[in-house]
Amino acid sequence: MAFIFSTNKIPELESYSLQQRQQILTLAAHKLTAPEKFVLNLLKLFMLVPPFLFLAQLDGILFVVSLFGVLGVYFILLRPISLLFTRKYLSDAIKLYNKLA
């Protein structure tokens, strides 16, 4: 299973613009079940707590540089995980989006 970092790499969404892909992904995210949302939020929590505990011990410019590094890595890792969770609901979200549009 390959990680997808961009929505234009998802075959089902290739024919849509960036704004349309974002709307479809939002619809798919709303279809996540409660346990899936719980697991996704736990993963986010586990990704955030250790780096921020490390950041709490830093001072000055090292803190700022490390903060941007941690946030960058967080968003780089979060996107593929979120896409992985919402991918199974894409077909329903595309149908709903086409019906609404």
Tokens 């410019």 found at: 61
- Please, is 20 exposed, middle or buried when counting C-beta atoms within 10 Å of its C-beta (0-12, 13-18, 19+)? middle
Give the pLDDT confidence of 20-72 residue by residue, as tens digits: 999 999 999 999 999 999 999 999 898 888 888 888 888 888 888 888 888 88
- Indicate the pLDDT class of residue 7, thresholds 50, 70 and 90: confident
Confidence (pLDDT) at 1: 58
Return the pLDDT at 9. 86
What local confidence, expressed as pLDDT, does residue 58 receive?
83
Q: Is 59 helix (H, G, I), strand (E, B) or coil?
A: coil
Read off the tokens for 52: 């921020």
Name the percent of the chain in helix, strand, coil, to the closest 5: 80, 0, 20
pTM higher than 0.85, yes or no? Answer: no
Contact 25, 79 (CB under 8 A): no
